[in-house]
């Protein structure tokens, strides 16, 4: 007879793991116990050696669907006599040294949804119905091990019927910590200055929405502002109150057929939409698009999600609306509101009514956003449904502990421990004070649930003025830890390389801005990355940015700068004639910009791809002011979407100081020439995008030839543009090179902290 003491690490708490172990042990005739132990699961087995081995193999193969095993530690010894007469589930212990973590929130499963819609079920139309296969996890747990008393559900003692399910190892609600029902669980209510008396707050909420009202709806990990997506007046009212004149709103529809009323869905997109993670999926609008034009103005696509909580499913039961606008309820740049008092206070004058509930949200967690490029999924935001599931870095380091704080915009942070890298939910813009506080709270929380008491290194961006950099310095003193400053685009490239299992590549890093090693703004870079080292082997032509950040808000400034040395005529007259309305202060501002260009006063330098695309967008009079991140480039992509590809703009590459340079001013001059000749705006937009894409690709190919590298990659927010991504991919492949893109990480800044973790692992492995 043998005894095996197993510790199982991974996503093994809150996912029905213990009852699965219980059932398997009984089936194989093994005795012992299973229990949550801190942040892992401990299993003790006694019995025949072959049966124990069979148990381990079957556990790996038959584990619960939302669990993930990263490691099983096994100490097997021969024993003379057994210590257990049966197999049991023991109470949890707080002792642990493992690296398991709480799983992400999961959409309502089909069995719970059947109960919600069954008139004879005691959970009929109950919006908080959940089981071990679904419901909130990350957003309700306060500490480990994951038991009800350590979650926000502890405020709702189980009724006798729920307790019977909760204590039965053969029931799917066995120790499902979010288990509840209308008798014992959280309750929804409507608010407008006070609680609105009604027997059915969700039905009344749907009626208000049908009447054109705007509701704040508190959900699992945050709050949405909601209105009917087919009501132009309601959508415009929401825009006016939020001060978001054109930022696209995401929508939610009850099912796939409803989405097909207004959007095109591929098989892969449908699979993502209906997955248990339920991200927002960016879909192309169809030709019969019937929703309000102001939902996603100026764009050919729209963000869509399906219901992921009982609240959503029940709301749609009471309406014929094909879609609701569901946009995060926060002031621009601030975190979502999660407490009832701050929801009603912070959204006063924006929402007409408030659909709230009395369960606390422990961790706010924005919706995840994905997009498909050439049939391949790409993360725009990796958050609800995914965070904080870890990435495996054990091949790089198993002993280093690191905290990596990301950049400034679209921030996530990462905790590296035991070779597992836990990337946080979306944090946001940390130049905002409230968001910085959110970051600090989230750091303390994630370090706590991963059992990370101290760290060896704090990784941050190279930019000296980011508040995340200042925070890194503060934490360095607290933990007596080293600081590792990682160049922004190198971090992008390292996340990409990790995602594809590549140790060396030539990487195209194309985005809006990143602090360069030379103190200028980078954003259109060709980097050779090998291990912890990188070199800058190519870039877009460095261009002046008159007014600094003003050039990112008003792209005509960038356009003027990029044309100044190439345009033959009177550039002042050109801009007064064509682009005067793009300068808030008219002719006087144009004169100021020209003076700034002459003197260099308040004028930075940038090689940003984002700024080049902004300038093209302004030249074509597609977008004259950026009101949200990436607006000019996104509208440029949408303008080019229906082009036939009839025009060709050549690109020119030169070499300066050993670095390849793409002449973006030359591309813009061709744009202006085509405008003069009367070519269609969509065709010019398509040709200009392609010239930038193929110019970047050619520089990467030339560098790969020089260096003898076989793999070329693409990273940065520009690679969310499907046309540019596919143009680069096709160009690189036609030249005989492998091309890699992000698969399970973000091309944008959301994975910079992951890249910083890779940099730390590589640096300290030395």
Q: Which residues have a catalytic role annotated? A: 18, 36
Cα gap 106→64, rounded to integer Å: 13
Count of other CB atoms within 10 angstroms of residue 675: 15
Count of other CB atoms within 10 angstroms of residue 466: 22
Cα gap 523→717, rounded to integer Å: 10
CB-CB contact of 205 with 190 (8 Å): yes
Cα gap 156→741, rounded to integer Å: 46
Q: Which residues pair with 715 in a beta bridge?
A: 509
Strands 87-89 and 188-191: unpaired
CB-CB contact of 517 with 536 (8 Å): yes
Strands 711-715 and 504-515: parallel
Outline where 507-608 has alpha helix (H): 550-553, 555-563, 571-578, 586-599
Element (H, E) at 712: strand 711-715
CB neighbour class for 110 (10 Å; exposed up to 12, middle 13-18, buried from 19): exposed
Count of other CB atoms within 10 angstroms of residue 92: 22
CB-CB contact of 297 with 190 (8 Å): no
- Taking phi first (over 0 means left), then psi (-120 to 50 degrees means alpha), and beta for anything else, what does residue 217 get? beta
Cα gap 54→715, rounded to integer Å: 44
Residue holding tokens 């460095």? 542
Q: Cα dihedral sign for 389, 393, 394, 398?
A: negative
Contacts of 217 by beta carbon, 8 Å cutoff, 6+ apart: 205, 223, 224, 225, 226, 311, 315, 326, 355
Tell me the three state secondary structure of residue 443: helix
Residue of 464, 531, 471, 462 whose CA lies nearest to 503: 531
Q: Cα dihedral sign for 615, 716, 712, 755?
A: positive
Cα gap 287→472, rounded to integer Å: 50
Residue holding tokens 């061709």? 670
Terminal Cα-to-Cα distance of the chain (whole angstroms): 45
Per DSSP, the chain holds a count of helices (H) and strands (E) of 23, 31
Instruction: Starting at the earlier edge strand, list the strands of the sheet with 482-486.
Output: 390-392, 420-423, 414-417, 402-404, 457-461, 482-486
Instruction: Starting at the earlier edge strand, list the strands of the sheet with 280-284.
Output: 195-196, 188-191, 353-357, 215-218, 223-228, 324-328, 251-252, 301-305, 280-284, 369-373, 376-381
């Amino acid at each position: 007879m043998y005894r095996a003491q197993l510790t199982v690490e991974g996503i093994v708490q809150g996912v029905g793991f213990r009852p699965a172990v219980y059932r398997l042990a009984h089936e194989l005739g093994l005795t012992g116990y299973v229990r949550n132990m801190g942040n892992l699961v401990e299993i003790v087995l006694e019995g025949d050696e072959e049966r124990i081995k069979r148990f381990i193999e079957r556990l790996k193969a038959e584990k619960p669907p939302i669990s993930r095993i990263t490691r099983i530690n096994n100490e097997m010894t021969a024993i003379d006599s057994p210590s257990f007469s049966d197999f049991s589930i023991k109470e949890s212990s707080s002792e642990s040294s493992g690296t398991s973590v709480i799983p992400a929130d999961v959409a309502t499963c089909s069995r719970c949804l059947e109960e919600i819609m069954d008139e004879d079920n005691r959970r009929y139309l109950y919006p908080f119905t959940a089981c071990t296969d679904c419901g909130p996890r990350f957003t309700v747990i306060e500490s480990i091990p994951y038991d009800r008393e350590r979650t926000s559900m502890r405020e709702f003692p189980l009724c006798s019927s729920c307790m019977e399910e909760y204590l039965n190892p053969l029931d799917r609600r066995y120790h499902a910590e979010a288990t509840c029902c209308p008798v014992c669980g959280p309750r929804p209510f409507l608010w407008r200055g006070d609680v609105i008396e009604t027997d059915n707050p969700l039905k009344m909420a749907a009626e208000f929405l049908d009447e054109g009202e705007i509701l704040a709806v508190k959900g699992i990990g945050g709050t949405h502002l909601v209105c009917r997506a087919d009501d132009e007046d309601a959508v415009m009212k929401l825009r006016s109150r939020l001060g978001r004149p054109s930022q696209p709103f995401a929508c939610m529809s009850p099912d796939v057929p409803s989405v097909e009323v207004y959007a095109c869905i591929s098989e892969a997109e449908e699979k993502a939409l209906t997955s248990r993670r339920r991200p927002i999926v960016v879909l192309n609008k169809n030709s019969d698009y019937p929703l309000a034009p102001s939902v996603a103005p100026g764009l050919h696509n729209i963000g869509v999600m399906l219901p992921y909580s009982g609240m959503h499913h029940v709301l749609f039961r009471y309406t014929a609306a094909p879609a609701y606008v569901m946009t995060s309820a926060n002031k621009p740049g601030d975190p979502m509101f999660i407490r009832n008092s701050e929801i009603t206070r912070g959204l006063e004058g924006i929402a007409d009514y408030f659909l709230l509930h009395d369960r606390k949200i422990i961790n706010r967690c924005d919706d995840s956003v994905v997009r498909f490029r050439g049939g391949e999924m790409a993360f725009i935001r990796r958050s609800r449904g995914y965070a904080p599931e870890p990435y495996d870095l054990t091949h790089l380091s198993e002993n280093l502990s690191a905290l990596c704080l990301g950049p400034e915009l679209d921030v996530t942070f990462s905790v590296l421990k035991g070779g597992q890298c836990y990337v946080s939910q979306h944090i946001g813009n940390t130049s905002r004070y409230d968001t910085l506080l959110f970051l600090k709270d989230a750091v303390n929380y994630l370090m706590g649930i991963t059992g990370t008491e101290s760290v060896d290194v704090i990784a941050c961006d190279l930019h000296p003025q980011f508040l995340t950099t200042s925070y890194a310095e503060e934490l360095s003193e607290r933990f007596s830890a080293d600081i590792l400053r990682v160049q922004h685009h190198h971090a992008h490239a390292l996340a990409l390389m990790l995602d594809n299992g590549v140790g060396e590549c030539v990487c195209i890093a194309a985005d809006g801005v990143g602090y360069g090693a030379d103190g200028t703004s980078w954003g259109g870079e060709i980097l050779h990355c090998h291990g912890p080292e990188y070199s800058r082997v190519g870039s877009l032509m460095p261009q002046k940015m008159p007014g600094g950040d003003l050039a990112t808000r008003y792209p005509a400034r960038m356009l003027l700068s990029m044309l100044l040395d190439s345009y033959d005529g009177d550039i002042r007259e050109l801009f007064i004639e064509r682009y005067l309305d793009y300068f808030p202060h008219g002719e006087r501002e144009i004169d100021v910009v020209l003076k700034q260009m002459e003197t260099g006063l308040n004028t930075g330098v940038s090689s940003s791809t984002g700024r080049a695309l902004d300038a093209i967008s302004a030249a074509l009079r597609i977008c004259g002011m950026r009101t949200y991140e990436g607006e000019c480039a996104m509208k440029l992509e949408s303008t080019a979407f229906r082009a036939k590809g009839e025009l060709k703009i050549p690109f020119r590459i030169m070499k300066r100081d050993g670095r390849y340079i793409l002449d973006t001013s030359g591309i813009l001059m061709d744009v202006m020439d085509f405008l003069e000749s009367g070519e269609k705006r969509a065709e010019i937009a398509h040709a200009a995008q392609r010239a930038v894409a193929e110019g970047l690709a050619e520089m990467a190919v030339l560098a790969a030839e020089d260096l003898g590298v076989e793999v070329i990659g693409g990273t940065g927010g520009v690679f969310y543009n499907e046309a540019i991504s596919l143009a680069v991919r096709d160009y690189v492949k036609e030249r005989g090179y492998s091309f890699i893109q992000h698969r399970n990480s973000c091309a944008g800044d959301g994975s910079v902290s992951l890249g910083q973790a890779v940099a730390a692992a590589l640096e300290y492995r030395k």
